Structure formats: structure tokens, C-alpha cells
Chains A and B, each alone.
Chain A
Amino acid sequence: MRYPLWRSAVFACVASQPLYWLYLAWQFALGPDPGKVLVDSLGEGALVLLLLTLSMTPLQRLTGWAGWLAVRRQLGLWCFTYALLHLTGYLYFLLGGEFSRLGEELRERPYILVGGLGFVGLTVLAMTSSRWSMRRLGRRWKKVHGLVYLIVILALLHMLWVVRADAGRWAFYAGIAAALLLLRIPVVSAALASVRSGRNKVGIKLK
């Protein structure tokens, strides 16, 4: 395995975060409504991980370091894990485990439906993330994993819908997402690659 230290460090960082939140909840440090805080944190964490996953390719292009790509799948799977915990937290802490009410929630609250669709998308990506699936799907694999762009949009819509009075945090994530999506446009990504080669040239010249 390449970059074992780097990959383990990323793993430890991302895995420890939910445990840290659980610890805070156990210490009564999450306030009087810990379930809600946990659900919100996990949801936001999933979005951050999704954006991080999407930044790996541009970062690799920009810096040339292959280590970015070495953790991309891991980050994507962590995003799915956080989203799964977010959903589980919602069902238990906010819905009180009354699954009979889930249908009503989905019908009456479109943001829950949108979040649910995003989660279904993430599940598909997580299930097809193995090497075996890549071989099996061949060219179609890339198409399937293009779903990630739709998922980002669903996740942001899901978050925007719960903004009550201040969209600052949402705008921050939306700005990053917009930049990451822009970088996928061929012209822009080509420009990004030339930034790197351009910088190298400058480096050589300076020597």
C-alpha cells in the first residue's frame, strides 16, 4: 500500500471526530439538546467530507502529488458513513424511532425527501466503490460516479432548506462547492494543469 502513514492519519482524523462528539454528549457538553446537535454535526461533517472528496482531484492536478488520490475513496466512504450516522441520528433522536411517521415526514417536508435522495445516491456510490465493482462496471463506473455532482447539489439544497435566519454558513459551503464544480469544466481543469506546469517553469527559470 502506498502512503500508509498519510492514509492512516486521514483515517484516524476522520474516524475520531464522531467519537469525540459522542464523548462530548456523554460529558453533557453538547448542551440540553445533544441529539439535535449530533445530527446537525454529522450532517455538516458529511457535507465537508463530500467537498473534501471532490477536492482531491483538483489538488492532485495542482500539486502533482498522488497522495491526494490515495485517500479519495476513503474520504468518500467516510462521507457515506457520516451520512448514515446522520440519518440514524435523525431517526432515533429526532423522530424518536417512530418509523411509522417517516412516510409522513417525507411527504410533508421536502428537505427530508431531498436529503433521503442524496443518501440513496451516496449508498449507490459506496456500494460500487470496490475494485471488483470498478472492473465489473468498466466504463460505466465513471458514469455512475458522476452522480456525486448531483449529490452535492442535493446536499446543499437539503441544508439550505433548514436555514432559518442566516445563510452565511450555507453560502460558505455553496461557494466551495461551486468552485469545485467549476473545476470540472474541461477548459478550467486544463487551465489548472497549466498552472502547475507554468509554476514549474518559473521554478526552473529561477534556478
Chain B
Amino acid sequence: MLIKIPASGECREPEVTAEAAYLNRRQVLRGLVCSGAVAGLPSFAEASERYSGVTTAPAPEWFADKLTNARWQAVAPEGEAITPFADASQYNNFYEFGPNKADPARHASALKVEPWTVLIDGEVDQPRRYALEDLCSESQLEERIYRLRCVEAWSMVIPWLGVPLAQLIRQVQPHSSAKFIRFETAYRPEEMRGTRSGFGLIDWPYVEGLRMDEAMHPLTLLAVGMYGRTLPNQNGAPLRLVVPWKYGFKSIKSIVRISFVREQPTTTWQSMAPQEYGFYANVNPKVSHPRWSQARERRLPGSLFSPNLRDTLLFNGYAEQVAGLYSSMDLSKDY
């Protein structure tokens, strides 16, 4: 299936690498895979070639199979340096594993991500539990290099691997009465030590939501990998949402439940501090947050004496594609 994403801020695939070299590389790889040289480690071959410093990880068979036919760089913002894998995988917010940035990388390995099922329910013909591989079976993997902007005013550029959410929605055929989608993160206290804290303020499980048109937008991705490999647990393995024009907390991790609902769901941060975290959470330099100024951001990695500060872009630089979704709304009210 072809997804058309018009944008001025993106470079087209052939511009990235000379096409000949690109195809040649694929052929070489395919040859290697067929010859069995790296048959056991296809993800290793891809990952190590595309991005340096990537820690390899065992991938389930279905993922490794899809990797060879993935659409690499299906979306790539122009002139953006990709954040090193080490930073993207060591500096995370995933409160289920602790409140500090280094906690998820330290503790998330306790999460068992295989096998993984996702409950799809609500306003849909056949609510049922899907195995992750069945959920992704019909779609091709795409690499999308997106800016990620955290509400705490730091940002990264991450090459995700995943399938468009719209495709999955069509696959499960929700009713027309479904106006919103509600997502839920796994809640397993025995594997998630952050949820066992006596001073935690979050009411688990973590919940996020999207309006149906946002969910159907071609930029909205359900990621199963990053940097040419599966997702590290701390980055939301094995299945997470990526909504590049919204603050990072909207991109819910380790999804176990997707519900099609009539009413706007109450999301985790919104229920904790509605004056700080709106349902829409669109990146907007003009709408201030009580704790962090949103006018500028720190693009990571930064070194101590060049903190890499830059102006935040409306809708995180994706305004051309998504502004239409909000044309009738006052974004200072519906923040």
C-alpha cells in the first residue's frame, strides 16, 4: 500500500543515497541472507550497516522477515542529524520503570515482551485479542525518521520502524460510532518496578488517546522497531505509538489495549494536571506550559558548552501536513 506524504521539509528516497548504491546494497544483503551467512542474524546485518553504535537484539521471526522488505527512509526530515542510538535508548521517560531518565534503560529488561498480545475492543465488529505478529501481518514495515519533542523541552531525531496506524484501523474495521481511540500501556507491577513506588502520582495503567482523524493521519505510526532493529524495552517494546507533531507523552509505549470509543478518553497526564497537559498536546511554541517554556528546545545530544538550543516549530515542524486537522480549533484552549 502506498502512502502519500506531501511535504517540503522532507527529502525523497533517491536523494538520500544514490539509487544504484541503494539497490546494490539490498542485493548484497539479500544474497547474504539467502546464502545463510547471516540468516540467523538478519536484524544484525541491517542494524549494523545503517546506524553505528546500535546494540543488536534478538528479533522475533516475523520482524526479521519483514525487515528485508522494509521501506527505508519512507519519511525523513531534511537537514536533521539522527540522534545516536545510545542517547535515544539511554535517556528515556518511562515512569513504569522509574522517575529518572536513566531508570528505564536500567530496569526495563525485566519486561517480558514475547509473546505479546493486544486487546482490541469497543466500537468494533469483532473485539478480540490479537497476537502482535497477526496485527502487523498485512502491512509492510516502514522506516520513518521523525523529530521527537518532549514536553520537558528536549528533542531528538529518531528513525522508527513501524506500520501506519491507519492501516491497522482499517484492518479491524471499527464502527462509525468510534470517534476516538484509547490506548493502554501494560501494567505489570512485578516487571515494572516504577509502578511499585509508594510515592508515585500516576494512576496505572498509563492511558493515552487520539481523535479518529489524528489516528488515521498518514504520519501516525505504530512502531515495532527503531534504528533498524526491534524497540529496546525502555523505548516501548514491543509496540508503541509515534505521533510526531505531538509532545512525546502522547506516543504511548508497550501498548496492550486499543479501544475504539465514542467519547474523548481521559488520559493519564490530563487527569493528573489538566492545566498542564491537554488532550491534544500538539507541539506549539506559543502555548506556554506552567513548568517548561515551549518556545525553544534542546536538541539532544548536546554538550555542556553547546547545549544545542533551537526554536520549537509549530506542530514540531509537521504543520504543513497536520494543521488542517485543527483548523476549526483554538489551540490555546484545546492545547
> A33-B154, A162-B291, A165-B201 are known contacts. Are A26 and B304 too (CB-CB below 8 A)?
yes
Q: B301: which of A33, A161, A163, A166 is its contact (CB, 8 Å)?
A: A33
Judge whether B147 is part of the interface by a CB distance below 8 angstroms.
no
Residues of B within 8 A of A167 (CB): 199-201
Judge whether B286 is part of the interface by a CB distance below 8 angstroms.
no
Judge whether B205 is part of the interface by a CB distance below 8 angstroms.
no
Interface residues of B (CB under 8 A from A): 83-84, 87, 90-91, 95, 98-99, 101-102, 153-154, 156, 194, 197-202, 272, 288, 290-291, 293, 295-296, 298, 300-304, 307, 309
Say whether B99 contacts A164, CB under 8 Å.
yes
CB distance from A201 to the nearest CB of B (A): 39
CA distance A34 to B87 in the complex (A): 12
Q: B199: which of A94, A164, A166 is its contact (CB, 8 Å)?
A: A166
Interface string of A102-114 (1 = CB under 8 A from B): 0011001111000
Judge whether A4 is part of the interface by a CB distance below 8 angstroms.
no
Judge whether A64 is part of the interface by a CB distance below 8 angstroms.
no
Say whether A165 contacts B99, CB under 8 Å.
yes
Q: A166: which of B99, B154, B296 is its contact (CB, 8 Å)?
A: B99
Q: What would be 12 A-B contacts, judged by CB atoms less than 8 Å apart?
A: A25-B303, A30-B304, A32-B84, A33-B101, A33-B298, A33-B301, A34-B303, A93-B304, A109-B293, A111-B291, A165-B202, A166-B98
Most chain B CB within a 10 A radius of its CB, from A32, A34, A166 = A32
CB-based nearest B residue for A93: B307
Say whether A25 contacts B304, CB under 8 Å.
yes
> A32-B87, A38-B304 are known contacts. Are A166 and B194 too (CB-CB below 8 A)?
yes
Judge whether A186 is part of the interface by a CB distance below 8 angstroms.
no
Residues of B within 8 A of A34 (CB): 302-304
CB distance from A39 to the nearest CB of B (A): 11
Say whether A109 contacts B291, CB under 8 Å.
yes
Residues of A within 8 A of B198 (CB): 168
Residues of B within 8 A of A33 (CB): 91, 101, 154, 298, 300-302
Judge whether A31 is part of the interface by a CB distance below 8 angstroms.
yes
Judge whether A138 is part of the interface by a CB distance below 8 angstroms.
no
Residues of B within 8 A of A35 (CB): 298, 302, 304, 307
CB distance from A19 to the nearest CB of B (A): 13
CB distance from A116 to the nearest CB of B (A): 15
Judge whether A171 is part of the interface by a CB distance below 8 angstroms.
yes
CB-based nearest A residue for B310: A96
Judge whether A101 is part of the interface by a CB distance below 8 angstroms.
yes
Say whether A96 contacts B90, CB under 8 Å.
no
CB distance from B198 to the nearest CB of A (A): 7
Most chain B CB within a 10 A radius of its CB, from A35, A161, A169 = A35
CA distance A92 to B298 in the complex (A): 12
CA distance A109 to B201 in the complex (A): 21
Residues of B within 8 A of A6 (CB): none
CB-based nearest B residue for A21: B304
Say whether A32 contacts B202, CB under 8 Å.
no
Most chain A CB within a 10 A radius of its CB, from B201, B288, B296, B307 = B307
Say whether A31 contacts B102, CB under 8 Å.
yes
CB-based nearest B residue for A168: B199
7 further contact pairs, Cβ within 8 A, besides A25-B304, A31-B301, A109-B291: A28-B303, A31-B91, A31-B102, A33-B300, A108-B293, A165-B99, A167-B201
CB-based nearest A residue for B293: A105
Q: B291: which of A28, A30, A161 is its contact (CB, 8 Å)?
A: A161
CB-based nearest A residue for B151: A164
CA distance A28 to B199 in the complex (A): 31
Residues of A within 8 A of B90 (CB): 31-32
CB-based nearest B residue for A161: B291
A residues 14-36 touching B (CB-CB < 8 Å): 22, 25-26, 28, 30-36
> A33-B298, A168-B197, A168-B199 are known contacts. Are A108 and B307 too (CB-CB below 8 A)?
no
CB distance from B275 to the nearest CB of A (A): 12
A residues 127-178 touching B (CB-CB < 8 Å): 161-171
CA distance A35 to B295 in the complex (A): 18
CB distance from B292 to the nearest CB of A (A): 8
CB distance from A22 to the nearest CB of B (A): 8
Residues of A within 8 A of B84 (CB): 32
Say whether A96 contacts B309, CB under 8 Å.
yes
CB distance from A90 to the nearest CB of B (A): 12
Residues of A within 8 A of B296 (CB): 96
Q: B307: which of A96, A162, A165 is its contact (CB, 8 Å)?
A: A96
